[in-house]
Structure 1
Amino acid sequence: MAAGPPVVAAAGRLWQVEAPLGRGSSAAVFRARCLGQPRSSPAAVKEFLPPGSGPGGGGGDYGFRKERAALEELRGHRNIVTLYGVFTNCSSTKGPSHSLLLELLDVSVSELLVHSSQHGCSMWMTQHCARDVLEALAFLHHKGYVHADLKPRNILWSAEQECFKLIDFGLSFKEGNQDVKYIQTDGYRAPEAELQNYLSQAGLQGGTQCTSAVDLWSLGIVLVEMFSGMKLKHIVQSWEWKANNAAIIDHIFVSKSVENSAIPAYHLRDLLKSMLHEEQEKRATAAEALCSPFFSIPFAPHIEDLVMLPTPVLRLLNILGDASLQNDKEFEDIVDDIREECSKYGQIVSLFAPKENPGKGQVFVEYANAGDSKAAQRALTGKRFDGKFVVATFYPLSAYKRGYVYQTVL
């Protein structure tokens, strides 16, 4: 942390502030763990700069109050980051700084896009992200809020709840009461926000007022990037896009090979077009977008999805051969060895090794939390076990609890 004690009190507990996770113009984010409760989930501390220390001397007081108010009002939705508490660090030489204690989330969509830049994200992951973020937007728009900075870095995966969540409400505002001049990020900025930002920079009034429709535009761009594997920043700034973005979307979908039937891809294409109308009045709302037939199609995850998105369940591949499956004594001995090895990384809630398809030869290990599962995945991947190299992926807890085994797409 910039200054002050490494231990802080918040949400009725003491927290040890640890490694930095990131830094912006008005705030820095740190990892924190709860003292006295080693098995509890870690948290994130977002520390806002004291007054006078930010660019132009403004500091982060206003941003702190603004984000705190939004997160307190939006608290409780599974697709919005959880605010645990707030505290003030009074020991800084630059003056008191305010902090938010937040749920610590995992991989961002920005990181997922880096890993899928050659081929795009799977339809399973794209659908999962689209549904989760639309659920969040439908909720916050119903509450009168506009997020106003939706982009890949602000959509993060929750390993414990197996869903994507929205973070960073520093530019958010109540619809009809916009209190910031410049909203959204280059490449994800809606046309009306682009115009408004330009007029504000020129010191002029006028233009169309920004509404919740700006969030649908941003999400539409994010989803096109996930599907295509391409960054669209320069494309959306071109005159061709402004003249006819529907034709460009059509071209992206035609040029990208789709492994399964083209029908699901066309449903996604139509959904994205409904979110990317140049005229905000014609854009689908979040609630309308959730009714798309795209969300009625069941997809299976790719193996890359199950490596990238942590959950409390670990799936071990290439560990049980046909011989061990047919010999009960050998099977039980190997399963006991697996249990003993996996217990080194955390508390095991359950272990399942099916002898028949689906899932024949795989081993599923459910940990008490995703942190232990991640530690085990790092340690076991590539390790030799009974003469075989282990492949360790995560597995959706919801599917595991239902006894459902995906026929994973490789």
Structure 2
Amino acid sequence: MESIPPEEGGVAAHCVRWRQMTLYGVFTIHFSPNVPSRCLLLELLDVSVSELLLYSSHQGCSLWVIQHCARDVLEALAFLHREGYVHADLKPRNILWSAESECFKLIDFGLSFKEGNQDVKYIQTDGYRAPEAELQNCLAQAGLQSDTECTSAVDLWSLGIILLEMFSGTKLKHTVRSQEWKANSSAIIDHMFASKAVVNAAIPAYHLRDLIKSMLHDDPRRRVPAEAALCSPFFSVPFAPHIEDLVMLPTPVLRLLNVLDGDDLDSEEGYEDAVEDVREECQKFGPVVSLLVPKESPGRGQVFVEYANAGDSKAAQKLLTGRTFDGKFVVATFYPLSAYRRGYLYQTLL
């Protein structure tokens, strides 16, 4: 449930259409007689970017996850900004993974406003706050009004910080407050990218660096708009997910490892019997839409199970991991539905 000011109800109505976010209902709660709050009952989402950062153990997220997140959030912001709205509270906790839609979605429009029609109020979260928002907040606390209104550019600043944290695996709240950052933020970003080992991905990593820099100009007029940022070369490079990504980000497709061996694959009769046994076991958790067991590489011996919904897939992953199947310990991860339906099986998962 998200609470937003009554006058900003249009934001939610528009956002429902982005990536098919499901809105189940709208209702009003009166916390005090003269301050009604409009509440939205939205779909239940999964892991947040904040949790992904926590589980990355300061190593940073994979380029596959960063690219996925950046593209999804930029598409959301491009839509919001075209409609004239500013999110105004972009941070890792407000970006969540949708297992059903296989994308990241934005939540929490409690601070959002119509561009050009903003009352002076405290916006954005410390650590992800654009310089012009910092100035406006200070003036508002002093009872003064800023001569410069905050625009959609504040959202791009926040996203730039989020992407830099995802890459570095480090919280940057104190860094962006430092005098060194104020003096030369570009050099600090360069140092982060130069010191981070990125296997076989030097050029795409530099594309990401340039994209982040374009979002973090102190002058909001120089920041890249969301629509233009989607044209970055960073989005033209295909990446494969790491094994940790396939464990953390649920989808309707389950991938089972260490289930079938060479004997099962080389014998036609043994293959059919083994596949039927796996199907029967997997159907205990919900209807199986399709099941694929490649006999050749890539994917040889792996079992791909597509469920009707991500809830069944999550239940299966939880209960099948560590189970024994014909004397072998099963490893269960999720698998990108879009790749599965294209018949694309990743050969190497780092």
More helix by share: 2
Establish whether residue 402 from structure 1 lines up as the match of residue 334 from structure 2: no
CA distance in 2, matches of 1:89, 1:144: 26
Find out whether 1:173 has 2:113 as its counterpart.
yes
CA 1:207 to 1:238, structure 2 compared with 1: closer, same or farther past 3 Å?
Answer: farther
Amino acid of the residue matched to residue 216 of structure 1? L
Q: Could you tell me which residue of structure 1 aligns to residue 254 of structure 2?
A: 314
Q: Is residue 156–residue 166 contact of structure 1 (8 Å, CA) maintained in 2?
A: yes
Quick check: 1:387 aligned with 2:340? no
* Distance in 1 of aligned mates of 2:259 and 2:213: 45
Note the residue ranges of structure 2 that are not aligned, 5 or more in a row: none
1:303 aligns with 2:247: no
Residue 75 of structure 1: CA displacement?
2.9
- Is this contact kept in 2: 1:82–1:103, CA < 8 A? yes
For residues 67 and 354 of structure 1, do their structure 2 counterparts lie closer, same or farther at Cα, with a shift above 3 Å needed? farther
CA distance in structure 1 between the aligned counterparts of 2:273 and 2:108, rounded to whole angstroms: 49
Contact 2:6 2:37 in 1 (8 A): no
Q: 1:82 Cα shift?
A: 3.4
Q: Which residue number in structure 2 is paired with residue 24 of structure 1? A: none
Check whether the contact 1:271–1:292 (CA below 8 A) recurs between aligned residues. yes
Tell me the distance in 2 between the aligned counterparts of 1:373 and 1:180.
46
Give the one of 256, 272, 275 matched to 2:215.
275
2:19 matched residue in structure 1: 78
Query: Do 1:318 and 1:388's aligned partners in 2 also have CA atoms closer than 8 Å?
Result: yes
* Residue number in structure 1 paired with 2:153: 213
Q: Unpaired segments of 5 or more residues in structure 1?
A: 1-44, 49-62
Partner Cα distance (1:180, 1:352) in 2 = 57
Comparing 328-337 with 299-308, greater Cα deviation is found at: 328-337
Q: Specify whether residues 97 and 235 from structure 1 end up closer, same or farther in structure 2 by C-alpha distance, changes over 3 A only.
A: closer
- Cα distance in 1 for residues equivalent to 2:312 and 2:211: 38
C-alpha contact (below 8 Å) 1:303/1:408 kept by paired residues: no
- The question of 1:286 aligning with 2:226 is answered yes
Please tell me the residue identity of whatever aligns with 2:15.
L
Q: Distance in 1 between matches of 2:90 and 2:202?
A: 28
- Aligned partner of 1:230: which letter? T
AA in 1 matched with 2:315: A
Moved over 6 A (4+): none
SS of residue in 2 equivalent to 1:357:
coil
Matches within 5 A, 1:140-289: 140-289=80-229
- Structure 2 counterpart SS, 1:247: helix
Q: What is residue 369 of structure 1 aligned with on the other side?
A: 309
How far is the alpha carbon of 1:87 from its aligned partner? 3.3
For residue 56 of structure 2, what is the aligned residue in structure 1?
116
- Per-residue deviation, 1:187: 0.4
> What number of residue pairs does the alignment pair up?
347
Distance 1:264 1:97, change over 3 A: closer
Residue in structure 2 matched with residue 8 of structure 1 by the alignment: none
TM-score when scaled to structure 1? 0.81
Instruction: Note if contact 1:313-1:373 (Cα within 8 Å) is conserved in structure 2.
Output: yes
Instruction: Provide the C-alpha distance between the structure 1 equivalents of 2:104 and 2:238, rounded to a whole number of angstroms.
Output: 18
Change (3 A) 1:101 1:205: closer
